[in-house]
């Protein structure tokens, strides 16, 4: 197996007296979709925000490309090539697709005037490379897009910057069947393009279908990190709800301690 692109070792994070992450080990491999599953409050969002640089881990080691790194701000994460697509997408309805994709990082000529030509071209190329064919025009406003298309734009925005790790927070939560299909295909294509993709989802069917590895969190601990092929639906559900399934998972005593 290839070396992990991003590796977290025994990361701890507390908010006041509440310890949210306990010695979490987490690995993202290039060209693979790593699913991050867990019940509400298991620490998924905290882990994502720690990777994104929004929270700072209390202890633990980060390695990117095998080299030790520190991530103390969203900018440091972005500089490494880590992009997060949050659940609420953070798109401006009144701007068009190109304007949204380049928001905050506009291309300018001479440092002042916006270089609309370059931006439009790059937006088109990126969308095309993701084989997005459902958008009528890159100059239509985001307000007119469907939920799936908005998700697509948000993902395209994340990969526009030669990012290497993309974290997707519940990308299919609010989507219909056909749109979920589109987004899952897109997630798969991102991994096939060599990116390390982290997929957070509550939909186990989606997770099993699209991901290569599954990391299950239970009350802030990693219950299991296993290849998707060797797993099945009931096993994952057990890991999420009880923290253990058969031989794998957290020993009952440890689980009770953090509960």
Partner 1 sequence: MTTTPETTDPSGSSGTSLAAADFANDRASASLGEAFRDWRDRIRGGDMGALPAVLGLIVLAIVFSILRPQTFTSELNIANLLTQAASISVLAMGLIPVLLLGDIDLSAGVAGGMSAGFTAVAIDRSGQHWTLAVLIGLAVGALVGLVIGLLVSRLGIPSFVVTLAFFLGLQGVTLRLIGMGGTVPVRDEVLRAITIKSMPVLAGWIVVVGLLAAYGALMVVRQRRLAQRNLQRPPNALLAVKFASLAVIVLAFTAVLSQNRSRSAALEIAGIPYAVFIVIALLVFWTFVFGRTAYGRHMYAIGGNREAARRAGINVTRLRISAFVICSMMAAISGIISSSYTGSVAPGSGGGNTLLYAVGAAVIGGTSLFGGKGLIRDGVIGGLVIATIDNGLGLLNQAAYINYIITGSVLLLAASVDAISRRRRSATGT
Q: Which residues bind partner 1 (CB under 8 A)?
A: 74-75, 86, 88-95, 99, 103-106, 108, 112-114, 117, 120-121, 124-125, 127-128, 131-133, 135-139, 141, 143-145, 181-182, 185
Instruction: Please count the helices (runs of H) and the strands (runs of E) in the chain.
Output: 9, 14
Judged by beta carbon, residue 127 or residue 199, the one nearer partner 1 is 127
* Nearest CB to partner 1, comparing residues 42 and 71: 71
Cα 177 from chain centre:
21
Q: How far is the CB of 209 from partner 1 (least distance, A)?
A: 13
Least Å distance, CB 227 to partner 1, is 25
* The dihedral formed by the CA atoms of 60, 217, 153 and 6, expressed in degrees to the nearest 10: 30
- Of 159, 186, 130, 164, the C-alpha closest to 28 is 164
Smallest distance, partner 1 to C-beta of residue 96, A: 10
Nearer to partner 1, 34 or 180 (CB): 180
Distance between CA atoms of residues 230 and 210, nearest Å? 14
User: Taking each helix axis from N to C terminus, what angle separates 147-159 and 177-192, rounded to the nearest 10 degrees?
Assistant: 10
Contacts of 12 (CB under 8 A, 6+ apart): 19, 21, 22, 23, 24, 57, 58, 59, 60
Q: How far is the CB of 23 from partner 1 (least distance, A)?
A: 30
Nearest C-alpha neighbor of 154 from the set 178, 126, 133: 126
The smaller minimum CB distance to partner 1, of residues 34 and 182, is found at 182
Pick the closer one to partner 1 by CB: 25 or 121.
Answer: 121
Which residue's CB is nearer to partner 1, number 9 or number 188? 188
Minimum Å distance from CB 71 to partner 1? 16
Contacts of 76 (CB under 8 A, 6+ apart): 53, 70
Q: Which is nearer to partner 1, 18 or 113 (CB)?
A: 113
Enter the tokens of residue 149: 């298309």
User: CB of residue 157 vs partner 1: minimum separation in angstroms?
Assistant: 9
Shortest gap between Cβ of 200 and partner 1 (angstroms)?
A: 17
**Residue 81 — left, alpha, or beta (φ > 0 → left; ψ -120 to 50 → alpha)?**
left
Residue 91 contacts residue 100 (beta carbons within 8 Å): yes
How would you label 122-133 residue by residue, b for 16+ Cβ within 10 Å and e otherwise? Answer: bbeebbeebebe
């Amino acid at each position: 197996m290839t070396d992990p692109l991003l590796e977290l070792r025994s990361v701890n994070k507390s908010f006041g007296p509440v310890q949210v992450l306990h010695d979490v080990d987490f690995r993202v491999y290039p060209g693979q979709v790593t699913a991050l599953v867990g019940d509400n409050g298991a620490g998924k969002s905290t882990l994502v925000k720690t990777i994104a640089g929004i929270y700072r881990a209390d202890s633990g080691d980060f390695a990117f490309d095998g080299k030790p790194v520190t991530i103390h701000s969203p900018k440091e994460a972005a500089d490494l090539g880590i992009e997060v697509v949050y659940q609420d997408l953070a798109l401006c309805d009144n701007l068009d697709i190109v304007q949204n994709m380049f928001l905050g990082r506009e291309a300018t000529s001479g440092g002042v005037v916006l270089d609309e030509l370059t931006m439009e071209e790059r937006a088109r190329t990126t969308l095309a490379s993701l084989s997005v064919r459902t958008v009528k025009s890159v100059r239509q406003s985001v307000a007119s897009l469907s939920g799936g298309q908005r998700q697509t734009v948000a993902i395209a925005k994340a990969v526009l910057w030669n990012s290497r790790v993309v974290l997707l927070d519940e990308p299919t939560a609010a989507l219909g069947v056909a749109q979920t299909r589109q987004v899952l295909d897109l997630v798969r294509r991102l991994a096939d393009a060599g990116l390390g993709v982290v997929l957070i989802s509550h939909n186990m069917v989606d997770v099993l279908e699209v991901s290569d590895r599954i990391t299950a969190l239970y009350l802030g601990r990693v219950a299991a990190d296993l290849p998707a092929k060797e797993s099945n639906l009931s096993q994952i559900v057990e890991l999420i709800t009880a923290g253990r399934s058969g031989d794998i998972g957290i020993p009952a005593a440890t689980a009770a301690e953090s509960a």
